[in-house]
Amino acid sequence: MDDEVLGCGGTIARHVIAGSEVTVIFLTDGRRGGGNFQSKDGTHTDPGEIVAVRKAEAQRAAQVLGIRDIAFLDAEDSRLRFDTLVAGRLREILQHTRPQILYLPFFLERHPDHRAASSVLLAATRGGGLHFECRGYEVWTPLFPNRLVRIDETLHLKQQALSCYESQLAVTDYMHSGIGLNAYRAMSFGDPATRFVEAFHALALEDYRRLCRSMGRDQFRF
């Protein structure tokens, strides 16, 4: 939770405003997000309580962006690459929604769950007859973009949505780093009036599959 806002929150808001149907799918349960493992008195915090906080924050952020459809697949946070069931759950949703565009963390992100998200996607779509554009986004690792989206008009919604993740912001100033990255990306947009941009590496699903295979054969076997 919060990657959907950091990576593509302004673009999501643009889709919603344009009348698109948007579904956000959280692969992991967020129990380790923010490093908030202990209560203020030093006692161990129940992971179930942390998950509940993360999900409530995600639902509030979705309301800000205008998202009505959310799915929580509840793979254990930080162990996505070991989950054997989440790909099947994702496959069911994709077969039902038949997306035209799918946003996900780019497969070269340094966070292990972010990298594993691509493995899950490739497993979920193998032999499924699905055809859509994958747009990899950046959170922890800047990518080489081939698609830039101006978010000046929706930046305030992105900021409001990100502010809903109080448990995350209490540990790391994602507002500063995330919005700063959007400001940096504006330099490549080619319009001096543009101040904030979200960057993506966009490829058709099968091209994304081939790229993943070429960069990491042991990890992407699908």
| Residues 124-164: tens digit of each pLDDT | 999 989 999 999 999 999 999 999 999 999 999 999 999 99
CB 196 within 8 A of CB 182: yes
Q: Would you say residue 58 lies in a domain?
A: yes
CATH number at residue 144: 3.40.50.10320
Residue with the bigger pLDDT between 32 and 140: it is 140
Relative to beta strand 133-137, strand 101-105 is parallel
Angle (CA) 154 3 160, round 5°: 35
Answer whether residue 78 is part of any domain. yes
Is 165 a member of any domain?
yes
Q: Does residue 97 belong to any structural domain of this protein?
A: yes
Q: Is residue 157 part of a domain?
A: yes
- Structural domain including 120 reads 3-215
Q: Are strands 23-28 and 69-75 parallel, antiparallel or unpaired?
A: parallel
pLDDT class for 204, splitting at 50, 70, 90?
very high
Kindly write down the DSSP assignment for every residue of 191-202, as one continuous string: -TT---EEEEEE
Q: Rounded CA gap, 162 and 185, in Å?
A: 19
Q: Is residue 222 predicted with pLDDT exceeding 50?
A: no
Helix (H) or strand (E) holding 24: strand 23-28
Structure tokens at 74: 């509840």
**pLDDT band of 220, cuts 50, 70, 90:** low
Q: What is the largest CA-CA distance in the chain?
A: 53
Query: Which of 147, 134, 148 is CA-nearest to residue 211?
Result: 134
Convert the pLDDT of each residue in 174-187 to its tens digit: 999 999 999 999 99
The pLDDT, as a whole number, for residue 104 is 98
Give buried/exposed letters for 131-168 (b at 16+ CB in 10 A, else e): ebbbbbbbbeeebebeebbbbbebbebbbbbbbbbebb
Q: Indicate the SS3 state at residue 20.
A: coil
Q: Per this entry, what is the length of the chain?
A: 222
Q: What is the pTM of this model?
A: 0.93
pLDDT at 32: 87
Does residue 220 fall inside a structural domain? Answer: no
What is the percent of the chain with per-residue pLDDT over 70, rounded to a whole number? 92
Backbone angles phi, psi at 74, to 5 degrees: 65, 30
CA gap 163, 40 in Å, rounded: 22
pLDDT tens, 71-90? 999 999 999 999 999 999 99
Residue 222 forms part of a structural domain: no
The total number of structural domains in the chain stands at 1
Instruction: State the Cα angle at 174 between 172 and 180, rounded to 5°.
Output: 135
Whether residue 116 is contained in a domain is answered as yes
